[in-house]
Structure 1
Amino acid sequence: MNLDTAFIAQMTTIIAFAVGVSVLLASMKYPSYIRRSLLSFAYGKFLVGAGFLVAATRGGMMPELMAALANGLAIAGLSLNYVCARQVQEKAVPRHFALACGTAVGVGAFLLLLGGPSDLSRVRLLSSVAAILLLLLIAAELLLFYRGRGVAHYLSGGMTLVVAGAFIARIGAALGQPAVPLDQMVNDGTERLVFILAFLSTAAGAINFVLLASDEFNKELTKLAHTDGLTGVLNRRRFFEVAETEFQRARRHDRPLTLLIIDIDRFKTINDQAGHPFGDRVIQAVADCCARQLRPGDTIGRLGGEEFAILLPDAGPDVGWDVAERLRAAIEREVTPLGDGLGLRITGSVGGVAMDASHGTFSDLFAQSDAALYMAKNDGRNRVRFAEPVGPLPVTA
């Protein structure tokens, strides 16, 4: 088989277009931010394929323009790999990043060819430096900055570094090679290695990136299963799962634990007077207000309707009371203004309990906190009440 660079470029073109079409079709089933990332990946493959196609067929008229176009298209396609690696994480991407990279390399290559000897050495240098910088950006994004990295991230990042190494070798070859006519492709061993790696990374990289996108999709499904759709805090089921784990850990290590239950006062009146959409705004505002007041290790969940629960690990009754009072005051201060124009006063009542020896299960803790909440309601609302600790029975002589 004739494994010269022209043949490898033709095969890479076919694979790149096939991969682009496949990823384009696969992107339809994903959420919008993952779909955008996959579309960038697919368009990148189309550009890479077009670049290799131009490179393989550039003999004839205007070789300077064709050589510059081939390099510009390939670099623009490679830069879209960086774009998609950021988009899948919902990170900001510089506007027209791929267009700027491809144009800079294409125009730079064209000017080099017009302003000096008509050979490809300096063009190889320019495109190799650009490729190395982009590949290092992609590798850093996948291997260093990506949260929740998995096997697909390490495989893609490792492959990216291997290709970057080949481009470094390409720079050395470009510095030492004799002039190559523009209407021919460079066909030394280093160039063939770079082209073969481009071929392999186009095929294998697509598999890795689809796995990466699927991993993000699974994270999204897990998030949807665990969080409340209106407020973004944990839903009731997930909160109880987390709370049960924390309860058992606190008992095992003899650590303090406090549970708070917060209820929005007279919420039925709010819905009746202002409507359910306004009631939803109030629920969201209370959830946001409470979340801002909590420590990183604390857990908040929506129990249903206008009721929330907050778990405070390593917090005894004194700390728990302080947090509860801070939450109550924050709701009164930050959320009440929502109802000013409607004649509504929005407040919250808080019931709490600190774990002691009388709590055999988390259900015991929850029942006492719920009872404390009713005490707060019965005592006039917009206040904090804690269940009295029962503790172990005293030992009599």
Structure 2
Amino acid sequence: MNIDMIVIAQVIAVLGLAIGGSVLLASLNYPRHIRHALQSYAYAKLLLAAAFLIAAFRDGMATEFLVPLANGLASAAMSLNYVAVLRMQNKRTPPRLAESAGVLVAVACFLALRISPDDLNLVRAISSLVGAAFLLVIAVELLLLYQGRGVAHYMSGGLIVVNLLALVVRIWANAAQIGPSDNLAISDAVERGVYAVIFLSNIIGAIIFLLMASDEFNKELQVLANTDGLTGVLTRRRFLELAEIEFRRAKRYGRPLSLLIIDIDRFKAINDRAGHPFGDRVIKAVADCCATNLRPEDSIGRLGGEEFAILLPESDLEAGERIAERIRANIERSVGVLGAEKALAVTCSVGGVTLSPDHDSFASLIEQSDAALYEAKDRGRNRVHFAKAAA
């Protein structure tokens, strides 16, 4: 390795250490799966920095051990980049992928040097081939498989493709000259080009990956803002927003729409006799039971306390009554088992209404459905009652 390549390797190493440390510190401010993704990315930068430090200072030292070590560390760093992308999506990661990749490449490079001690082209071809394989799967993950990908993901994927092309050129250049070569790559221009790409990718890639982390964090905040913490259904605010949109669509195109309001019967008595933690279990069980009986196009939200609302697009009076009765019966059967733990009966009353030409706002649907709920309560609870069309 000539003097200018040594300087470039040293700069890449220092830059990798700085970026790795900075990303590790930044990761502390993020939720668990995003934090783990950033930590994997930071460790990848630190391993790559170590690899380039070894490459920069190995001249005149134990080449047969340091070269395999450097290439093993670089391959482990590549695999951690893939792990970081998977963790950013909260996907399962292959166990001990970094350790396996690093050891396998180090052993392969060591054997290559044992076969041909003066040939580094084969070593470079091996490590570049493994690196290219990891870059390929990362590019596929970012550009094709990532759910909800945005500009940052396409930018990152494009950068990965540039790195992949650089490694393909490096593989071709070294594979074409496998054999004794005085420890030099066939083309200094190719090697400098690869180092330049790695240098720029360290800077740009870190910025883009942090943008991806921020994007995921914003999505998580959006989910938290729109989701009830206890039950996992929509919050009252988000449900009313979606319901208003669906109401306007149904009115504009003359499509059927039904609204259900569900209330747990005698819930105060359940809390008083079994305690609030058990009451929370009942609320969550009712929400789960409702959700499992709905279609993908339906929406459920928690209006407050033990009261839920369900919006049923494309459902007329007959369909709305059928769905409401199915939900009521399933709650009595499945959640009733939970109530039996405390010798309590857990049932629900359901009030419903179907959209008619007389409804001029979603608030009028809520009002009528609420009145129907109280009618179901007055008639003995644990029943379904649908309101008549507005006068």
State if a TM-score over 0.5 links the two structures: yes
Contact 1:4 1:192 in 2 (8 A): no
Q: Distance in 2 between matches of 1:277 and 1:209?
A: 41
How much has 1:378 moved relative to structure 2?
Answer: 1.1
Structure 1 consecutive aligned stretches of length 4 or more whose deviation exceeds 3 Å: 184-187
2:11 aligns with: 11
CA contact (8 A) 1:5 1:186 kept: no
Deviates further, 173-182 or 18-27 = 173-182
Q: Does residue 179 in structure 1 map to residue 180 in structure 2?
A: yes
Q: TM-score, length-normalised on structure 1? A: 0.95
Pairing 1:241-320 to 2, within 5 Å after superposition = 241-320=241-320
**Counterparts in 2 of 1:41-56, with a 5 A limit?**
41-56=41-56
**SS at 1:149's partner residue?**
coil
Whole-Å Cα distance in 1 between the matches of residues 180 and 297 of structure 2?
A: 64
Q: How does 1:315-326 map to 2 (within 5 A)?
A: 315-326=315-326
Alignment of 1:100-111 (within 5 A): 100-111=100-111
Amino acid at match of 1:132: A
Q: Secondary structure at the match of 2:263?
A: strand
Give, in whole Å, the separation in 1 of the partners of 2:384 and 2:311: 16
Tell me the distance in 2 between the aligned counterparts of 1:203 and 1:3: 23
Q: Is the 8 A contact 2:185 2:191 kept in 1?
A: no
In the superposition, the TM-score normalised over structure 2's length comes to: 0.96
Question: Secondary structure, in 3 states, of the residue corresponding to 1:360?
Answer: coil
Q: What's the counterpart of residue 232 of structure 1?
A: 232
Residue aligning to 1:121: 121
Residue 364 of structure 1 corresponds to which residue in structure 2? 364
User: Displacement of 1:121 after TM fit?
Assistant: 1.6
Structure 1 letter corresponding to 2:143: L
Q: Deviations over 1:182-218 (max 9, x none)?
A: 5x67762112111111111111000000000000111
Letter in 2 for 1:66: L
Question: What is the number of equivalent residue pairs in this alignment?
Answer: 389
Distance 2:54 2:379 in 1: 80
Partner AA of 1:84 in structure 2: A
- Distance in 2 (CA, whole Å) between partners of 1:181 and 1:96 is 36
**CA deviation digits over 1:311-331, x for unaligned, max 9?**
011111111111111111111
Equivalent residue number for residue 58 of structure 2: 58
Identity of aligned residues (%): 56
Match of 1:112 in 2: 112
Pairing 1:130-169 to 2, within 5 Å after superposition? 130-169=130-169
Paired residues of 2:257 and 2:355 also in contact (CA < 8 A):
yes
Give, as a single letter, the amino acid of the residue that structure 1 aligns with 2:366. Answer: F
Please name the residue that 2:214 is paired with: 214
Residue identity opposite 1:179 in structure 2: P
Q: Deviations over 1:194-249 (max 9, x none)?
A: 11111111110000000000001111111111111111111111111111111111
Deviation at 1:347, TM superposition (A): 1.2
| Aligned match of 2:25 | 25
Amino acid paired to 1:180? S
User: What amino acid maps onto 1:238 in structure 2?
Assistant: R
Corresponding letter in the other structure for 2:77: G
